[in-house]
Amino acid sequence: MLTSKTISEFFDNMVYLETLNLKNQELLTHFQTLNNNLKERKVILEEEKGEKESLLALQALQKQASATAKQEKDRLYSLTEAQYQAQLKEKEDVETKAAEIAKRLISIIGLIEDQEPPTFGEALELAKNVGNSVGVRPAFLLAIIRQESAIGRNVGQCYITDTITGAGKFIGHGQRYVKPDGSMYKNGGLIDRIIRPTVRERQKESDLNLFLKIVKDLGYNYTEVPVSCWIPQCATSYRGSYYYSKASVKSDGSIVCAKSGYVPFGFGGAMGPAQFIPSTWRLIEDKVKESTGKSVVDPWNLLDSFTASAIYLKQLGGGTTSGEYSAASRYYGGSNSYASSVRTRAWCIQEYIDKGEMTAYCEGLIF
């Protein structure tokens, strides 16, 4: 028979085990919190490192421009009258070139087939009107739009053809799209993973369903509205870190990862010049309506897309010059290289706004 002492010891042990289990849970929670904090700190440090490197590169560009300006100033002091008159003519030529730059068409991604691309001057005026109204520097806003177009040129554009899987066809010669044999992918080819068909955490609807609703509300045919293609890459994870490899696309649209053990990663589906995925567009759609005074807004419309981009950048902290780098990085999912490119483009555009001039290097970035 069990004695009272044995029963007492049994329950004492049970209480001890329960206490030990609680302590273990507390330790596990503590370590998980510590791990999350370390990950957040790592992201912050990487962003700070990227911002410093970007700032050094921009300072080098500014120093070069300043040295060129000083050389020009010194040259002007040494001019004779005849040379001075020639200089005036050269100044007129510069002003003429600035006007010509304003008239040049600027490549903007995500326009619908019958939409005319704007001139640089038109896009800049739109950025000024929207940026000043929302509270975002116009040069920064236009740099974001231009950066998105640069990415779109590289990745290409797609049409959705499958309303179940979110797959579709390729309509642009993206430099990254290659077949397993190394040959370039061609227009009309099938591509998977254009828009995510599944519901993500904290989402009520998938991006695919939201996209179909958006185009239906606007009266568009979903098979004729361009969205960004999937960036062809595969990934694997190990101890909380992601590792990436290249991917190629077969003629049937299926994906081949370059490395064994890797799986296709991410989706495309970004809409219009500002390249919003449908779920993000829905989050700020009402604010775009409020800002534009429209009852219906369209992510493929220039005014609406510029306004949406400005509002989102402001929400991300891009309303001040000091917050622009971080806002640009977060706009593209935490990419420091993206933010660095935006910062340089913004400087080029600001130089044009302030001085009416653009170096050949800047022209290469903007056009």
Final residue before a domain boundary, out of 78, 102, 117: 78
Place of tokens 């068909």: 197
The verdict on residue 257 lying in a domain is no
Regarding whether 135 and 29 lie in a shared domain, the answer is no
Residue 84 lies in a domain: no
Q: What is the dihedral of CA 196, 199, 203, 208, to 10 degrees?
A: 40
pLDDT for residue 359: 87
Choose one of 23, 46, 78: the last residue of a domain: 78
* 152 plus 58 within the same structural domain: no
Q: Do 39 and 118 sit in the same domain of this protein?
A: no
Nearest to 279 by CA among 173, 176, 196, 180: 196
Neighbours of 246 (CB within 10 A): 14
pLDDT score for 107: 78
CB atoms within 10 A of CB 248: 20
Contacts of 366 (CB under 8 A, 6+ apart): 106, 120, 146, 345, 348, 349, 358
Give the integer Cα–Cα distance in Å for 163 and 67: 57
CA dihedral over 285, 290, 296, 299, signed as positive or negative: negative
Per the CB < 8 A criterion, the answer to whether 194 and 160 are in contact is yes
In the DSSP assignment, the letter for residue 230 is P
Domain identity same for 290 and 190: yes
Q: At residue 307, what is the residue type? A: T
| Residue 258 placed within a domain | no
Quick count: other Cβ atoms within 10 Å of Cβ 262?
17
Please check whether residue 83 lies inside any domain of the structure: no
Q: Examine the domain organization and report whether 66 and 204 are in the same domain.
A: no
**Same-domain status, 124 and 213:** yes
Global pTM value: 0.74
Two structure tokens written together for 175: 């430099």
Do 70 and 112 lie in a common domain? no
d(CA 159, CA 176) in angstroms, rounded, equals 17
Q: For the segment 200-216, what is each residue's pLDDT rounded down to a tens digit?
A: 888 899 999 999 999 99
- Map tokens 């044009």 to a residue: 352
Assess whether 71 and 101 both reside in one domain: no
- The pLDDT score that the predictor gives to residue 315 is 97
Closest C-alpha to 271, from 218, 344, 337: 218
Letter string b/e over residues 53-68, b meaning 16 or more CB atoms within 10 A of that residue's CB: ebeeeeeebeeebeee
Residues 63 and 190 placed together within one structural domain of the fold: no
| 106 and 26 in a common domain | no
The predicted structure's pLDDT at residue 2: 45
What secondary structure does DSSP assign to 94-154, as a single string?
HHHHHHHHHHSB---TT--TTPPPPBHHHHHHHHHHHHHHHTS-HHHHHHHHHHHHHHHHH
Is 181 inside any structural domain? yes
Q: How much is the pLDDT for 353? A: 94
* The two three-digit tokens of residue 304, written as one number: 């609406």
192 and 307 housed in the same domain? yes
Flag whether 159 is in a domain.
Answer: yes
- Assigned domain for 254 exists: no
What pLDDT does residue 87 have?
58
What is the longest distance spanned by two Cα atoms in the chain? 122
Domain boundary among 78, 99, 123: 78
For the chain, the domain total comes to 2
pLDDT beneath 70: ranges in the chain: 1-18, 20-24, 26-55, 57-58, 61-62, 64-65, 67-97, 151-156, 172-178, 184-186
Domain-embedded: residue 256: no
Token reading at 148: 């998105």
Three-state secondary structure call for residue 215: helix
Domain range for residue 52?
A: 4-78
For 304, the 3-state DSSP assignment is: helix
Residues 300 and 223 in one domain: yes
